[in-house]
Amino acid sequence: MKVLMFGWEFPPHITGGLGTACYGLTKALSSLNVEMIFVVPRLFGDENAPFMRLRNASDIEIATDSEEQKLFWEKLQYIEVNSRLIPYLDPELYSKLFENTLLNTEEIKYRIFSKKFSFSGEYGPNLMEEVSRYAVIASAIALQNNFDVIHSHDWLTYPAGIAAKEVSGKPLVIHVHATEFDRSGENINQNVYDIERKGMLAADRIITVSNLTRRIVIEKYGISEDKVFTVYNGVQTGNFSEPDFTRGVSEKIVTFLGRITYQKGPDYFVEAANLVINKDPNVRFVMAGSGDMLTRMIKRVAKLGIADKFHFTGFLKGADVHRMFAISDVYVMPSVSEPFGISPLEAMTANVPVIISKQSGVSEILNHAIKIDFWDIDEMADSIYGLLHYEGLTTMFKKYGRSEVEQLKWDHAAFRVKEIYESLV
């Protein structure tokens, strides 16, 4: 089985759980004799994935005069964006979307095609132009390689998957790690929604990371349930070790780790923190991450008068995440809408009891976690206080939580994904 796979990021250069999920899944698939070519917009040189072929889209040359490329050119839809779009935060998109237009002018063709295009590999102001060019690169890669199935991760790579399918005729699997409804609630960005829906309609199979996400795909995007399959994420275990440092404070530590955006519910965490601190001042709260709500959260913490007990670390990754979990007594994920949520599994691996919102996909499979409604700050505060002060409760969640999470392996996810591949070949 050979798979051509498209992603937008890969460890150690990540902005959230997407890159981590891609790494865990591909590594497990390789053990099932699945050969993969994994394409990203840009490789930085320190990626470590000997179990598959990593391809740098920035290294691919386009033969603009080839007959195959001309065929794809006739089908290409180009999206021109004039303002900033950050897909994993809060999309602000003002764009011109050229629907069903044959792009035959030399000026536009020159902007899209070049011998090589240097991708930034980031989520900056030229994002949608990079998405369009990435689709062109995908068509070239699809023409140059042999494979059985195409697999695209997240909406940024759906146009690439469609392009590869157009030129190769091979089946397309798209992986929905999040939807526009998760990122923006009901105030969706229509252009992003349209790209997501086109990917879903073009796909032969759709993989969702939870039943929560599956329902959104079926109900909000009008997709037939027959081609939508839930495959839960796993977690890397066995690589956590206690750091050789002390935390330097005597108080208990409660941690939020994730993007500081609407989707992740940071405002509810701050309000619950205030309730806990008013009852027990010997607690410190940490908000680790970055995002468009960061400034608002800092101002709110200052207004509540709890700044001396509340810390903002900025974005953490790699070893810093492990260190943060190592010094945490409780981990909270109060997401408003979370397709899955790998971070609670990572916390449980580090023997940290977790509190998660009922509005998360991971709540479908976890038994030894406290589950709350994201909006119920009183219940959130009571749960935090209970885990900090009742040792028996904490010991139980640590013991059984660690045992439970060790059963959630990427091997299980990979086996199911391979079955989906085989159903198409």
pLDDT tens-digit profile, the chain (425 residues): 999 999 988 888 887 788 889 999 999 999 999 999 999 988 888 888 899 999 988 887 765 555 555 555 554 443 332 223 333 333 332 233 223 333 333 443 444 444 556 665 555 556 777 787 788 888 889 988 999 999 999 999 999 999 999 999 999 999 999 999 998 888 888 888 999 999 999 999 999 999 999 999 999 999 999 999 999 999 886 655 555 567 778 899 999 999 999 999 999 999 999 999 999 999 999 999 999 999 999 999 999 999 999 999 999 988 899 899 999 999 999 999 999 999 999 999 999 999 999 999 999 999 999 999 999 999 999 999 999 999 999 999 999 998 899 889 999 999 999 999 999 99
Q: According to the model, what pLDDT value does residue 417 have? A: 98
Q: According to the model, what pLDDT value does residue 81 have? A: 29
Backbone angles phi, psi at 242, to 5 degrees: -65, 130
Q: Does residue 149 contact residue 421 with C-beta atoms inside 8 Å?
A: yes
CA distance 282 to 279: 9
Q: Does residue 338 contact residue 177 with C-beta atoms inside 8 Å?
A: no
- Beta-carbon contacts of residue 304 (< 8 Å; ≥ 6 apart): 270, 274
Q: According to the model, what pLDDT value does residue 72 have? A: 52
Q: According to the model, what pLDDT value does residue 101 have? A: 33
As given in the structure block, the two tokens for residue 206 are 């759709």
CA distance 95 to 422: 39
Task: Locate all alpha helices (DSSP H) within 236-376, ordered by sequence.
Answer: 266-279, 294-304, 319-326, 343-349
Residue of 339, 348, 347, 289 lying closest to 314 (CA atoms):
289
Q: According to the model, what pLDDT value does residue 87 have? A: 36
As given in the structure block, the two tokens for residue 39 are 């394409």
The DSSP bridge pattern shows strands 79-81 and 172-176 to be unpaired
CA distance 106 to 122: 28
